[in-house]
Amino acid sequence: MELLSGNEAFARGAYEAGVTVAAAYPGTPSTEILENIAARYKKDIYCEWSPNEKVALEVGAGAAQTGARVLVTMKHVGLNVAADPLMTLAYTGVAGGLVIIVADDPGMHSSQNEQDSRNYAIFAKVPMLEPSSSAEAKEFIKIGMDISEKYHTPVIVRSVTRISHSKGPVELCQRIQPRTEFGFVKNPQQYVTIPVWARKMRVQLEEKLGQMLQASNESPELNRIEWADEELGIITSGICYEYVKDIWPTASVLKLGWSNPLPDTLIKDFAAGVDKILVIEELDDILELRIKAMGIDCIGREFIPGIGELTPSVLRQCKAKMQGEEYIVPAPVEESKDLPARPPVLCPGCPHRGVFTVLAKNKVVVTGDIGCYSLGSLPPLSSLDTILCMGAGISMAHGMDKAKANHKVVGIMGDSTFFHSGITGLLDIAYNKGASTIIVVDNRITAMTGHQENPGSGKTLMGEDTIEASIEAIGRACGVKRVFSINPYDLAETSKVIETEINTNEPSLIVSKAPCPLAVGKPVGHKRNVDAEKCKVCGMCLKIGCPGMEGGEKGQVPKVNKLLCAGCGLCEQVCKFGAITMDKEI
């Protein structure tokens, strides 16, 4: 028995299921699944960080068509990127086993929206499994592979933050030995989706759904009724099942582990055995609406919130409300009311800080993107104005430019995001004669999700040396003529290049090059000190928003927190009085 996180358990499940190929693009809360495969099982499983989720799913589709068992993982918004191959892969089906883990983020702990991926299973007409614990996370990958192979369909396994990042006991089993030979068996009527054949696949897809509906009604290891009190029956799935067991320990429960196709007969049987049905689901009211459409009376959304994540406390409140009572969740204590907030910030020594310090001085609109540099939007830097999705940092800048906006626009994104979906936007700017200034903050790693390799890192997920894709060369190949590399720790140079390019009437690409100090594992340079005699307490060094520089009461000289200072020297460069000096210590 081992204590595994959901993500560790998913990785273990892939190993035990005999998976031989795994592909993903990192994204919280899904990232650690492939990291664990690389760390523990790469002898048996080829794994890769693909440049984006669409590529990952297409790699997975190709591998599965040779008969291999394949795992593809992503966060919820990644499935938007991979939606194109998903929709048609449901038509062609798969020869081997293909499980897609999609990790939702109710409550938006680390995401830009809280879309409910269960909609995709219905939309794409593919089965969806929803584990409730680490133990099920492992098991459902294996069951998912069986379903995938039996019905020749991709299977979506839905995780949420609290499944992926919670640990629980898991019993380990042997690996099912994969077949020894793989190969694509030509069958154009099955794999070539020209309309004449795709129309037949469309009909087959409905037939498969019918067979799977029957199976979901008859799969007690996935969908089970736990009979208890007859007064109240709760229908739930995923992590909510565990909360329900804590909050309504005496209720009858229908636990749905295979929620699409929805097991209609089982639901009817359950409804017949209880007086009242309560549906508990996180985010959209998918189960509730479908159960009501079956003509079964139930309650749900009127008591259970559809915004944000459900927790045991939230459900205890709902329970009280249903009983006409009030339950007040203990709130933060009175003494916490005036505490200073502690939002996430760019780390001490972060190379992005130099770029944002320059942008903050210039009157420009900055179209941003997803990554650590999202934090440039917060005070005191406050110099990032939009975040939409991966890639929009470049394309939206072009849109503002073409709308003839009455202000200058700078687009900014990271290296990994550039490889993910920035290249096409840059090509658009060059092709359609735009004039935007694009900055790629290139720290040679996918930092926000915890330092995953990308095509610029020179390493694969398998740990092998590989190419280091050049952003400058890609920019030139797209047709951008003004391409510059800058050192973001050199504020004068950074400032000069950015300001010149903002005022140039043709597209430019500025690559801000410095590795993430956390990834390198070394400070940038010598720690700094504040010379109290020279300091005029002007506050400039505090405007760069470095956690290593601590300001006190008004009029007090700021001081360097030596535990945090990474020695980047940016504070020294913004100080006009020479009051910040270098320490001997690195």
Partner 1 sequence: MSDNTTSIVLAGVGGQGILLASSIIAKAAMIAGFEVKMNEVHGMAQRGGSVIAQIRYGKNVHSPLVEEGTAKVFASLEQIEAIRFAHYLSPDGLAVVSTQTIVPVTVSMGSGKYPQDVKQRLEKIFKNLIIVDALGKANELGNIKVANVIVLGAISRGLDLPLETWHEAIKSEVKEKFADLNIRAFEAGRNS
Residues that bind partner 1 (CB under 8 A): 1, 3, 28-29, 31-32, 109-110, 133, 162, 165-169, 242-243, 245-246, 249, 311-313, 316, 329-333, 335-336, 338-347, 372, 374-375, 379-380, 448-450, 542-543, 545-547, 549-551, 553-554, 558, 561, 563-564
Within a 10 A sphere around the Cβ of 14, how many other Cβ atoms?
A: 33
At which residue do the structure tokens 């980047």 appear?
Answer: 568
- What would the two tokens of residue 419 be? 């490889």
Owner of token pair 């320059």: 358
Place of tokens 């391409």: 483
Q: Which residue lies nearer to partner 1 by CB, 341 or 403?
A: 341
The encoded tokens of residue 14 equal 């892939």
Which residues, in sequence order, are CB contacts of 196 under 8 Å at separation 6+?
none
CB 572 within 8 A of CB 528: yes
Contact 164, 34 (CB under 8 A): no
Specify the residue, 183 or 343, whose C-beta has the smaller distance to partner 1: 343
Rounded Cα gap, residues 570 and 575, in angstroms: 9
H or E stretch at 416 = helix 415-417
CA dist 465 and 321 (Å) reads 59
Of 206 and 338, the one with the shorter C-beta distance to partner 1 is 338
Scanning 436-504, the segments in alpha helix (DSSP H) are 471-478, 491-502
Cα distances (Å, whole numbers) of residue 408 to 76, 360, 361, 403, 547: 33, 13, 13, 12, 30
Between 255 and 398, CB nearer to partner 1: 255
- Please report where in the chains the tokens 């406050």 appear, as a residue: 382
- Smallest separation (angstroms) from partner 1 to the CB of 531: 18
Tell me, what DSSP letter sits at residue 282? S
Give the C-alpha separation, 395 to 386, whole Å.
12
Residue 518 tokens read as 């956390």
Q: Do 254 and 225 meet the contact criterion of CB atoms below 8 Å apart?
A: yes
CB of 219 to partner 1, least distance (A): 22
What is the closest distance, in whole angstroms, from the C-beta atom of residue 255 to partner 1 in the complex?
12
Q: Is the CB of 91 or the CB of 243 nearer to partner 1?
A: 243
Coil, strand or helix at 129: strand
Alpha-carbon distance values, 196 to 11, 28, 147, 187, 190 (Å): 39, 41, 27, 14, 11
Q: Which is nearer to partner 1, 154 or 567 (CB)?
A: 567
Please say which residue, 1 or 293, places its beta carbon nearer to partner 1.
Answer: 1
CA distance 363 to 383: 10
Residue closer to partner 1 by CB (options 306, 380) is 380
Three-class secondary structure of residue 504 per DSSP: coil
Report in angstroms how near the CB of residue 236 gets to partner 1 at its nearest. Answer: 12
Q: Which is nearer to partner 1, 399 or 515 (CB)?
A: 515
| Type of residue at 101 | I
Largest CA distance in the chain: 82
Is the Cβ of residue 390 or residue 546 nearer to partner 1 in the bound state? 546
Closer by beta carbon to partner 1, 253 or else 491: 253
Distance CA 381, CA 441 (A): 16
Number of C-beta neighbours around residue 433 at 10 A: 11
Q: Please tell me whether the peptide bond between 488 and the residue prior to it is cis, using omega within 30 degrees of 0.
A: no
State which residue, 166 or 500, has the beta carbon closest to partner 1.
Answer: 166
In the complex with partner 1, which residue's Cβ is closer, 331 or 492?
Answer: 331
Measured from the CB atom, the residue of 347 and 535 that comes closer to partner 1 is 347
- Rank residues 458 and 515 by Cβ distance to partner 1 and give the closer one: 515
Calpha distance 26→389 (Å, rounded): 15
Q: What is the DSSP string of 297-356?
A: --B-TTTS-SSS---HHHHHHHHHHHTT---PPPPPPGGGTTPPP----PPTT-THHHHH
- Determine if the peptide bond prior to 380 is cis (ω within 30°): yes
C-alpha span between 565 and 526 (Å, rounded): 9
Among all chains, which residue has been given the structure tokens 């840059």? 426
Cα separations in angstroms, 156 against 5, 152, 288, 387, 543: 19, 13, 20, 28, 46
In angstroms, what is the minimal distance from the CB of 385 to partner 1? 19
